[in-house]
Amino acid sequence: MDINYKKFKVIVREGYESICAVVAEIIAGQIATQPDSVLGLATGSTPLGVYKKLVGTDFSRVTCFNLDEYHPIERTNHQSYHYFMMQNLFNRVNINPDNINIPSGEAVDFAAECDAYEEKIAASGGIDLQLLGIGPCGHVGFNEPAAIFPKQTHYVALDSSTIEANSRFFESTDKVPKHAITMGVGTIFSARHILLMATGSHKADIVEKVVLGDIDPQVSGSILQLHPNVTLAMDAAAAVKLLQSL
């Protein structure tokens, strides 16, 4: 099912595999029409199936910027987003390693790391297509509940709900890094096309809140209501509440 709701182009497919296929096609289509595309990429369980389907796509001229990384964390740590991206995508496609950009969890000078990341995105010409998942608190990247929408790439203390949700990947909750470096809401908003993805029944409430709730920095994904070009791709389980309310 494909519908337009306000500025959102909403795509719903029955199951996880079929929505991943649609999202992978959109990304592959972007690369086919513009081989030197700048992609913004996300981690998390949601896009895993998309990355699998992108193996075989020609990334030779593509530049990628990842949304975020824990801090502190070594890039070799199996829970780092750096490791995740290498394992699940970058080691499996023909991307030029110079075109892989992920905030460093090893940076000592966080402010300099954040500024350099922001400058590099601008120097690349900006992000053509930004893939996003959504966290349990409605965050995009690691833009945690806050009093204002953070504009640029920044160093952030993780919300307790994020630490709890992400503890499933660590030995225990206290092993989850307490901080991260993340693109800001402004950085994300500057992308020319946003591809927001949500799958599973545990995302149904937050999807409804992000799309229909107040535009509120406590739910950073809600800013996307103002973006002119958002595709919202969901499986039926994640879409159920939103579709009931439209």
Binding site for ligand GLP (CB under 6 A): 42-46, 67-68, 133-135, 141-142, 162, 166
Residue 37 or 162: which CB sits closer to ligand GLP?
Answer: 162
In the bound complex, what is the minimum distance in angstroms from residue 9's beta carbon to ligand GLP?
A: 19
What are the φ and ψ backbone dihedral angles of 41, each rounded to 5 degrees?
Answer: -120, 160
In the bound complex, what is the minimum distance in angstroms from residue 166's beta carbon to ligand GLP?
A: 6
Q: Contact 231/194 with Cβ under 8 angstroms?
A: yes
**Helix then strand then coil, % of the chain, to nearest 5:** 40, 20, 40
In the bound complex, what is the minimum distance in angstroms from residue 40's beta carbon to ligand GLP?
A: 11
Residue 61 or 136: which CB sits closer to ligand GLP?
Answer: 136
3 state SS of 100:
strand
Query: How does 56-67 read in b/e, with b if 16+ C-beta sit within 10 Å?
Result: ebebeebbbbbb
Residue 38 or 67: which CB sits closer to ligand GLP?
Answer: 67
In the bound complex, what is the minimum distance in angstroms from residue 123's beta carbon to ligand GLP?
A: 23
Residue 38 or 85: which CB sits closer to ligand GLP?
Answer: 85
In the bound complex, what is the minimum distance in angstroms from residue 230's beta carbon to ligand GLP?
A: 15
Residue 61 or 186: which CB sits closer to ligand GLP?
Answer: 186
What are the φ and ψ backbone dihedral angles of 4, each rounded to 5 degrees?
Answer: -105, 130
Instruction: Tell me how crowded residue 41 is: count the other CB atoms within 10 A of its CB.
Output: 24
Query: Tokens at residue 216, please?
Result: 């509120």
